[in-house]
Structure 1
Amino acid sequence: MEKIFDLLGCTDEQRITCAGFQLEGEAEAWWKYEHETLMTIYPKLSWDQFKVAFYENYFPKNFREKKEAEFMSLVQGMKSVIEYQQKYEELHYFTPPHLWDDQGKASRFERGLRNSIGAIVVTQGL
C-alpha cells in the first residue's frame, strides 16, 4: 500500500481512509473504535501515528523489538544493493520514529552499505 500511496501522492488523510477501508474482521472493528480515540488524541492524525497505533496493536512488543534490533544491525554484506534495499524497507516499518524522516532513513541506509559502495554514495552526495 505504501508504494501505491507514494505513487499517487496521497495525503495522510487519504492514506488513513484507504487503509481503514481495507481492514477486515477484527482489524476493522479495532479501527472503528480506535479511530475516534486517535482523533481525540491527535486532531490531525498523521499516517505515521496511524501506523504506530496499528503496529502496537497487531505486533507484540517483543516481536517489534526483535525486528528493530535486526534493522539496526542490518548491513549489505554479500547482498546486492537491491536485496539490501528490500530487506531495509521490510524492516523499516519496525524502526523508532526518529528514523522515519528522509534524512534518518538515508543516513541509516548508507551506514549499512558495503564500504566500497557507501563511500561513493557519501562522496557523491547521493
Structure 2
Amino acid sequence: MVRIERIFDVMDCLDDRKLRLATFLFEGSAYDWWRSVQSKCVDPSMITWGEFKDDFNELFYPRSYKTDKQNEFLRLVQTSTVAERFEYGLREEIRSVVTASGYENLGKLVEAALRVEKSLSERHGGQQQMRPKIGSSS
C-alpha cells in the first residue's frame, strides 16, 4: 500500500481515482475481499480512499503485525543510540579509528574497539621495551 501511495503522489492522483486504480491491481484474496465490500455497499462509489485504506489495513495488516513492526523499529533506534553512545565514549585515539570503520552495529563496534585497543597497547608496549631506561648504564 505504501508503494501504491508513493506512485499516486508522483502522479498527483486525486482520492476518487486512487481507489479505482489501487483495486484494479488487486489479485487473489485482496480482489475477493474488494468484491465482497462492493457487493455489501448500496453505493460503492461512496467509499472514500481513507475508509478504504483503513479497512484494507485492518484486514491485511492486523494490529499484531503493526505492533511487531513498531517494536522492531524501536529496537533498531535503541540499538543505534546505544552504539552511538558507546562510540562517543571511547578514547579519542580509539574512537577515530573505530568511527572510520563505519560500523553502526554495537557488537561490531565493540569488536573493532577491542582490536584497536589491543593494537595500540602492543605498539606502546613495544616502544617501551625498545626505549632505554633513564639512569641505566647500558
Q: Shorter-chain TM-score category? A: 0.3 to 0.5
State the structure with more CA Rg: 2
TM-score by length of 2: 0.43
TM-score (structure 1 length as normaliser): 0.47
More RCO (CA 8 Å, sep 6+): 1
